[in-house]
Structure formats: C-alpha cells, structure tokens
Structure 1
Amino acid sequence: MAACVAVAAEEELTVDAIHTDRLTLRAFREDDAQDLLGYLHQPGASCFLSMKLDDLPAARAAAIKRSSEPDTYALEHHPSGRVIGEVFGHLEPPDTFSIAWMIHPDFAGQGLAHEAAKAIVDHLFQQRDVRRVYAYVETDNLPSQRLCARLGMRQEGLFKEFISFENDAAGKPIYVDTMQFALLKKEWAAA
C-alpha cells in the first residue's frame, strides 16, 4: 500500500517519535537498512520505483539519508521489532502538507498504514498547526484510495496521464492517472 507525494519545500524540523498501539514512528537509523531493503527491493507502487534499492549497501545509504530528512518517519512494528514501512511528506509553506506512505507487503491489510497515517495527520493538525493535508494516489492503487477515505480525505481531482514513472519495452513513457485526496484541519476536528 502506498501513496505518492508532490515534491515541495522542506521545513527544518527534527523527527519526534510518535507512538501508537502497534507502532513507533521515529527517525530512521543506519541499522534499519535491512528492513528498508525488504520493502524497497520491489516497490509496491509505481511512484516509488525511483526509490528502488538493489542491495544492502544501497539500503544503508538510503537509511542514513532518511535519518536526516525532516518529516520522514520509519514505522517500527512493536511485535516484530522491524521497520515495516514509512510515512513521509513535505511542508508547502505556509500550512499545507503533502503526505505519502508505504508498507512492507507482508504487513499490508492489517490496518497498520491507517494507524500510522492517522497518527501523522493528527500530529500535523494538532502539533504543527497544518491547515491542509493532501496525497496523490494512482487510480490502480485501491488500498491507498481506501486509506484516504478512512482518514476522511475527499477526492479533489483526477489527473489524466499525470506522470510517468517507468517506460514500456519500446522505451516510451507509461503515463498513469493520479487522484488527489485532501483533508482540512477543520474537517479532521469535526470528524
């Protein structure tokens, strides 16, 4: 399950740990490399193909890079002790935040992505005073569309042939249709 984000300006913030029933959302560490490789060796959504990792050294470098990125959270699963995915995004000044998530396929369908995304959205609205959160999701990514709906996000648009993440056998770009979902702080508070 994954949602894609638009690239935007970053705000210099440290990642504070956020705790849920089954997860700790925290900064990445170098020793998360093996787990990171586990879900990025074959990314589940085409928008994450550029993040594909081929081996442990690449995963180690990616974990180190993520450890210094603001608003990038490793999802540490309490029962297994593993990092099973991540939630990340970017602040678009002054008060809009793009959000994305991905989770290891072995842990999909257990409500963990919802648990993590809900905790981050609540953190953004309550602690960071963000006014609006949005996510881009490809039309073929039904689990992320359902997650957006569970969060109370509404579909704001459909971008036909919005972007290409890969090429076909002839080298021509494969364009995907992308939906935009969004949620306002006042909608979150009213739910």
Structure 2
Amino acid sequence: MHIETDRLMIRNFEEKDAAGLYEYLAAPPVHCFYSEKVNSYDEAVKKVKEKQNGDGHGDSYAVCLRDTDFIIGEIFTMKEHPDTYSIGWNFNLKYGRKGYAKEAAEAVITNLFENDARRIYAYAEDDNLPSQKLCERLGMRREGLFVEFISFVNNPDGTPLYENTYQYAVLKKEWNIK
C-alpha cells in the first residue's frame, strides 16, 4: 500500500522506521499494545522486519510525515472474507492532537472501500477515550460493548485482567454519503 494525503504518507514498513517505531512502542500507553512493546532499538529493528514480512494477523502500514518520511505511527487492517475488514491504529503520543490519526484512518478506510470492503469495524477498550473519539469522528457508529472481552495484561495476582471493549463500524454505503 502507498497512500499520500496532504500531510502524510502511508506505506509499507522500511528498515529506517526502527527509530520512530521505538519511540512509540517503548512505552505503549494502552494495554492492547503491551505485546508489541520493544525494550531496545535492536528489538525495534526486529519488530520492523516482522511488520515487513507480515505476522499472520493482517497488514501493518507505517504512517509517516510526508515532508520528512519519519514514522509517527501505524495503521493495521485484517480482512475477514469476503468483504469485511477490521482496522486499528497506534500513534506516537508526541504527534497527538494534530489530526494525523484521523487523516491516516480516513485515507486507509477510503482505500479499502474503493477496493473490496463493504464493512469496516474497530475495537476500542472502554478506557481508551482517544480511540473511541477517533472512531466517532470517522463516522463510525458504536455497535456494542463486549464486557470482559479480552485480556492483554494480568492483575497483580497473575490472573488475567479482562477489559471491556467497544465495537465501532461503518458500511461502504454510509461512507460514500460523507
């Protein structure tokens, strides 16, 4: 994938992305990215290679500033046959509150709908207000709350900490109305 917007470039991961990826994966701000955490630049290099080769869980794309080609986050998608996709994002908090995540997500969603997508959905844990607000700004509707849906971390006693998760979605026919 290669998409350019006014301020961003969305492309496949490249080796040079390790430094930027390290910036946002060294201390993930939400539990759902704890498994992605990297503890060194060398781990970030390995993570970039994994993202280049695919990890069997969909496709990940680097979101870069168009002017500098510096990575500020990523968008990931996974197809569920025949025409449904899940989408998610993870951005460096240093670049927050500038509309980059919305700009990137809109571009990727539009690209998916222009190809074979009919329905796109996203998950956001109930304590991840920025992702919930992004879904809403994208015109996605909140479809439901999955109570104690998934665990990304453990409680202090070692038992899984199950998190409540919202599902948001938008249909192609709704996106085209925009």
Q: TM-score, normalised by structure 2?
A: 0.95
Query: Which of the numbers 92, 100, 106 marks the counterpart of 1:104?
Result: 92
Tell me how large the CA RMSD over aligned residues is.
1.1
- Offset at residue 172 of structure 1 (A): 1.7
The alignment partner of 1:36 has SS state of: helix
2:156 and 2:128 mapped to 1: Cα distance? 23
- Offset at residue 95 of structure 1 (A): 0.3
1:66 alignment partner AA:
K
1:79 and 1:26 mapped to 2: Cα distance? 14
Structure 1 alignment gaps of length 5 or more: 1-15
Identify the residue that residue 27 of structure 2 maps to in structure 1.
42
- Offset at residue 19 of structure 1 (A): 0.2
Runs of 4+ in 1 over 2 A off after TM superposition: 68-71, 78-81
2:24 alignment partner AA:
Y
- Count how many residue pairs are aligned between Structure 1 and Structure 2: 175
2:158 alignment partner AA:
G
1:139 alignment partner AA:
D
- Offset at residue 79 of structure 1 (A): 4.1
| 1:23-172 pair list within 5 angstroms | 23-69=8-54, 71-126=59-114, 128-172=115-159
User: Per chain length, whose mean CA-contact separation is higher, i.e. which structure has more relative contact order (CA < 8 Å, sep 6+)?
Assistant: 1
- Offset at residue 94 of structure 1 (A): 0.4
2:68 and 2:129 mapped to 1: Cα distance? 27
- Offset at residue 81 of structure 1 (A): 3.5
